[in-house]
Amino acid sequence: MNGDPLSHGLWEKTAPEAPSAPKLVVDVDCDVAIVGAGFTGLSAALHAAEGGASVAVLDGAEIGFGGSGRNVGLVNAGMWVMPDDLPGTLGETYGQRLLTLLGDAPRVVFELVDKHKIACEIEHSGTLHCAVGKSGFAELRERERQWRARGAPVRLLDKGEAAAKIGTNAYAGALLDQRAGTIQPLAYARGLASSAIAAGARVFSSSPVLGCHAEGDRWVLRTPQGAARAKWVLVATNAYTVAPWAELRAELTHLPYFNFATVPLDEPTRRAILPERQGCWDTRQVLSSFRFDQAGRLVFGSVGALRGTGLPIHRAWARRSLAKLFPRLTGVEFESEWYGKIGMTADHLPRFHRLARNIVSFSGYNGRGIAPGTVFGRCLADLALGAIGEADLPLPISAPKTALLRHAAEAFYEVGAQAAHFVDARI
């Protein structure tokens, strides 16, 4: 997008065309104005429009421009933190509420895709969290125990079972989560936009919000050439937040993440690697992820930014790592490469903020944007429609807090990922 082949890579090449989303060049009135055309904002637009509200979505770039169009495409349940940790961090009521909502979130995604006939390469075969060494296996054993205690369909696989499903003996085991799956993320975002438009929402691209002020009981969102007046404002910009709510960006530490996609692999190779088409990621601190797209390309990613010295370092690491995991991929060509940024919070949990009267936001997905963004968007729509109150949300109200040493941490992540990948997988 915007002429940058490293922004959306394979997903931009293979997604269906985006629906028409012109610039906002006039003044519009609506019940709900939504800032950000990603998973959260578009889900909110769809659900609010279906609920009878007039809706306008404003995005400074394009539909799915941020993390929604760049991520791996894993539709996961829950968050990074262990399930038992949520009640301790959020309190029993919110902790259990969030666990229930996010545990069921992949099902909501799959049902939306089916209901609206969204062409996004859906694979509902689960995901595999792959154990690196004994410590990784112990972590997954505990994660399985905690989810199974809540009735979740997860199963810990031993080394042999994991090897059969993944196609490599590199892992000590894996946790299979049958609630989860994969999608083509940019195609999903564009499909949500098309569905929202069909339900009556208006979506405007290349329309950055430059300012927001109150006029009576309404808010006026000013863009370069027009404005939107609304009773409610839902801010859904997450890691790609810019003015006028810079406090949301200041709360998040950016973690860069890249992906490489191979050329389509031959049929014998596709049968040998991930034959059931689960999406995978591992337990390393500098983790790796991999999954197939519908055409048989293997998408392989990790922490890091594809810029400066990072591009050759991460590309060389990806080739070495793929060959080590799957020797038959030695020398395989990459067809696409791209990267983006993940918004991380201090406790790896998302945030709900009331930024002003009737201006609210969810942010801080910590790399779990697809399913949480979808259900949090629905929550925001229900709030604006009056179907629920703030006390019914899955997260308590909190005030944005600037992340400590954010700039230093972001520099460390980028440089540290290069250092880790420069030495990794050489033997």
CATH number for the domain including 405?
3.50.50.60
Residues 138 and 186 in one domain: no
**Tokens 């065309």, residue located:** 17
Please give the Cα distance from 122 to 113 (Å, whole number): 8
**113 and 165 inside one domain:** no
Tell whether 328 and 243 lie within a shared domain.
Answer: yes
Tell me 82's DSSP state: -
| Dist. CA 119–CA 346, nearest whole Å | 35
Residue 189 and residue 316 in one domain:
yes
Q: Are residues 341 and 197 part of one domain? A: yes
Long-range Cβ contacts of 168-172 (<8 Å, 24+ apart): 168/273, 168/325, 168/326, 170/130, 170/324, 170/325, 171/130, 171/131, 171/132, 171/136, 171/282, 172/131, 172/132, 172/133, 172/134, 172/136, 172/137
- pLDDT given at position 425: 81
Nearest to 277 by CA among 115, 74, 119: 74
pLDDT at residue number 340: 96
Query: Domains in the chain: how many in total?
Result: 2
User: Is 131 in the same domain as 246?
Assistant: no
Of 178, 206, 240, the last residue of a domain is 178
* pLDDT tens, residue by residue, 15-26: 999 999 999 999
Residue 147 and residue 49 in one domain? no
Q: What is the mean pLDDT of each run of 10 residues along the chain (427 residues)?
A: 89 97 98 98 98 98 97 94 92 94 97 98 97 98 96 97 98 98 98 98 98 96 98 97 92 97 98 98 96 98 97 97 97 97 95 97 94 98 97 95 95 96 86
Nearest residue to 188 (alpha-carbon basis) of 43, 54, 44? 43
How far apart CA 95 and CA 274 sit, in angstroms, is 34
Give the orientation angle of helix 92-103 with respect to helix 370-385, to 10 degrees.
Answer: 120
Same domain assignment for residues 167 and 228: no
Of the candidates 63, 109, 79, 116, which has an alpha carbon nearest to the alpha carbon of residue 374? 109
Q: Are residues 154 and 259 in the same domain?
A: no
The reply to whether 141 and 208 lie within a common domain is no
State whether 209 and 333 are in the same domain: yes
Residues 169-203 as b or e (16 or more Cβ within 10 Å = b)? ebbbbbbbbbbbbbbbbbbbbbbbbbbbbebebbb
248/169 same-domain check: no
Omega cis (within 30) before 5: no
Q: Which domain holds residue 153?
A: 127-178
